[in-house]
Amino acid sequence: MSRPSQTRVVWTAVFALPLLFASVAALQTRIDAQTRKQSQTQEMLLLSSPTVVKKLSLGYDSLLADVYWTRVVQYYGERLVKGGADYDLLWPLLDITTTLDPKLVVAYRFGAIFLSLPHVPPGSNLVGGAGRTDLAVELVKRGIAANPENWVLDSDLGFLYYWQLKDYKNASAAYLDGSTKPKAPQWLKMMAARVAAKGGSFENSSLIWSEVYASTKNPQIQKLAWTMLRALRAQDDEMHLDELATAYRKRIGRYPTSTAELLNAGYLTKIPVDPAGHPYVFGAEGKSRLAPDSPVVIPPK
């Protein structure tokens, strides 16, 4: 190619790149304005095609992937604040992001969490998401295939199988696969064995959420992990109190109406409180529960 021709190619790329990103931004703005509508425009369908976007990237795949990952975070964050919103475009945006840059591990990790979290009603203290664990599993498996030596993604897959799907066999297998990879921590092999042996125990669940909390700097995910750790402790406390209430009934002939009764009868050494410091209360049939004013939230099963 002659030097004038090479110069024309370079300047064409220089002028085309800003136009490309401007077009993407304009079309994405139109998409966001229509996310609550049932019908989709042709522009939305265009930007839902990873193949088309990759062709339009002019070789700037990684740069454009960062742009789309930013859009994923913005899209999720906007709906998270509203509560009860739909997440219809979350998967298409993640699909494009990871097609453009298969090595963008953060997109697989946090994208899977955004996809797998269940819908929550407006005003809920819980962090919600798209309620599509099936797509989350597909996304992480895609990440593992593109990043075969990254044990973190195997850990995320194990988490999805364990927590969201209650599939302890596949959860154990995912943790075990991760444990064989370079620089994998010992706790992965331990989790593989524990999950295989005990399934969905409170102890296992607490350990997994503790690892989630410790391994992320994302404030939303940390809040979720912190909320779940408190909920798990409260559930464990309630289960123990229910057992004591059953023993009390066998001895006294009725269920206790308060933890103070259990304390006075010698079943407790002190009044138990939830992770926020509120005493537990008893309802009908001797079932313990959180106090009405407790800020601790136990997700519905």
The residues spanned by each domain of the chain are 8-34+41-219, 227-289
Give the CB-side neighbour count of residue 295, counting CA atoms within 13 A. Answer: 6
Task: Report the pLDDT value the prediction gives residue 209, as an integer from 0 to 100.
Answer: 83
pLDDT surpasses 90 at 69? yes
Helix (H, G, I), strand (E, B) or coil at 15: helix
Distance CA 89, CA 141 (A): 20
Among 252, 235, 251, 229, which residue's Cα sits nearest to residue 287? 235
Q: For 119-128, 191-200, 208-217, which range has the lowest pLDDT when averaged over its residues?
A: 119-128
Quick one: 50 exposed, middle or buried, by C-beta within 10 A (0-12, 13-18, 19+)?
A: middle
CATH 1.25.40.10 fits 8-34+41-219, yes or no: yes
pLDDT surpasses 50 at 8? no
Q: Token pair 């406390």 is at which residue?
A: 237
pLDDT over 70 percentage in the chain: 77
What is the 8-class DSSP label of residue 287? -
Contact 248, 232 (CB under 8 A): no
pLDDT surpasses 60 at 90? yes
Task: Report the pLDDT value the prediction gives residue 37, as an integer from 0 to 100.
Answer: 45
Distance CA 174, CA 161 (A): 8
User: pTM for the whole thing?
Assistant: 0.68
Backbone Cα Rg of the chain: 25
pLDDT surpasses 70 at 137? yes
Cβ atoms within 10 Å, residue 295: 14
Strand residue runs (E) in the chain: 281-282, 288-289
Distance CA 10, CA 18 (A): 13
Tell me: the pLDDT tens digits for 254-284? 999 999 999 999 999 999 999 999 999 998 7
User: 55 or 100: which carries more pLDDT confidence?
Assistant: 100
Q: For 41-45, 80-84, 219-223, which range has the lowest pLDDT when averaged over its residues?
A: 41-45
Distance CA 209, CA 254 (A): 37
| Dihedral over alpha carbons 169, 175, 181, 187 (to 10 degrees) | -140
Give the CB-side neighbour count of residue 272, counting CA atoms within 13 A. Answer: 24
Q: For 9-18, 80-89, 170-179, 204-213, which range has the lowest pLDDT when averaged over its residues?
A: 9-18
User: 162 or 85: which carries more pLDDT confidence?
Assistant: 162
